[in-house]
């Protein structure tokens, strides 16, 4: 039997949370999904995480949350990260004095899945440590740990950097999936040594916007070149973007990868 893991792209505010709550329970049943991971850095009105929004998503069926540079936006998010055995991760390659963990082992019946959160450096706003070396250190740390799969959420801007770390990790992890751009890529595949890969899963949020931001608030940044307030779109045709992985628990290789996209009007 394969280990079926659904990974949900960046959940953008209230509309994204509604899409997850609408689609996820049925998807878990339809595909027999064993565990669900979602990127939560935009969960609370587009920036950061709160206990209420996190609970809303765990109630919908999400088991573990990764994040990125926006996870620090709300004080509650930092408190959640600081809690022992938190379900929320932050990128592991942030400097070590930061609160939170960048990796977590999920127990799924008799199986164990290591989830790793990393962030890219190219064109990203935060200066973080080398993600390649951070991954090496995590894999070395867990070299003797009995694991049935290893998932890496690589939160980054540049597809070439995401491709590079996926090929660097090929054969050593089950999958590398990208988050952050909110735009789903059509490059999902299994790499030569058995690692599943997609440059970016996409987002859960209102479709006809500037990656979840209302056109009216976002366009001013382009027209004026000045910092402007971004307003998260809360209604309209809303997309749910995810990727389903089937992992052989003996070899830890991905044997199947499928993009799953849904739409509803909120």
Q: What's the CA gap between 86 and 112, in Å, rounded?
A: 17
Q: Which whole-number Å values give the CA distances from 160 to 121, 194, 211, in the listed order? A: 12, 19, 20
Q: Which residue has the tokens 């909110």?
A: 182
Q: Which whole-number Å values give the CA distances from 19 to 56, 57, 62, 205, 214, in the listed order? A: 12, 10, 13, 8, 17
Q: Is 60 helix (H, G, I), strand (E, B) or coil?
A: helix
Other beta carbons within 10 angstroms of residue 241's beta carbon come to 25
Cβ distance 56 to 21 under 8 Å? Answer: yes
Angle at 257 between CA 253 and CA 259, to 5 degrees: 155
Residue in 22, 70, 142, 155 annotated catalytic: 70
Range list of β-strands (E), 3-139:
3-8, 10-11, 35-39, 64-66, 103-108, 111-119
Q: Decide the pairing of beta strands 237-247 and 3-8.
A: antiparallel
- Does the CA dihedral 255-10-38-103 come out positive or negative? positive
Residues 87, 91, 92, 95, Cα dihedral to 10°: -120
Q: Is 86 helix (H, G, I), strand (E, B) or coil?
A: coil
180 carries an active-site annotation? no
Catalytic residues: 70
């Amino acid at each position: 039997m394969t280990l079926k893991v659904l990974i949900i792209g960046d959940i953008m505010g209230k509309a994204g949370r509604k899409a997850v709550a609408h689609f996820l329970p049925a998807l878990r049943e339809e595909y027999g999904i064993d565990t669900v991971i979602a990127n939560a850095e935009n969960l609370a009105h587009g920036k950061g995480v709160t206990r209420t929004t996190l609970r809303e998503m765990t109630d919908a069926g999400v088991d573990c949350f990764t994040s990125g540079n926006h996870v620090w936006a709300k004080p509650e998010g930092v408190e959640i990260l600081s809690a022992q055995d938190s379900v929320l991760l932050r990128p592991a390659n942030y400097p070590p004095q930061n609160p939170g963990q960048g990796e977590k082992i999920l127990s799924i019946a008799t199986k164990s899945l290591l989830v790793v959160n990393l962030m890219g450096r190219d064109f990203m706003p935060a200066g973080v440590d080398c993600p390649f070396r951070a991954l090496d250190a995590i894999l070395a740390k867990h070299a003797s740990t009995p694991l049935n799969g290893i998932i890496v959420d690589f939160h980054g801007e540049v597809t070439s950097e995401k491709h590079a770390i996926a090929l660097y990790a090929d054969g050593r992890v089950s999958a590398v999936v990208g988050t952050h751009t909110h735009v789903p890529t059509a490059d999902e595949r299994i790499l030569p040594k058995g690692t599943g890969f997609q440059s970016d899963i996409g987002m859960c949020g209102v479709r006809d916007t500037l990656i979840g931001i209302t056109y009216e608030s976002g366009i001013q940044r382009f027209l004026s070149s000045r910092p402007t307030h971004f307003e998260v779109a809360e209604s309209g045709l809303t997309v749910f973007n995810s990727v389903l992985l089937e992992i052989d628990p003996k070899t830890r290789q991905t044997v199947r990868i499928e993009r799953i996209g849904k739409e509803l009007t909120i």
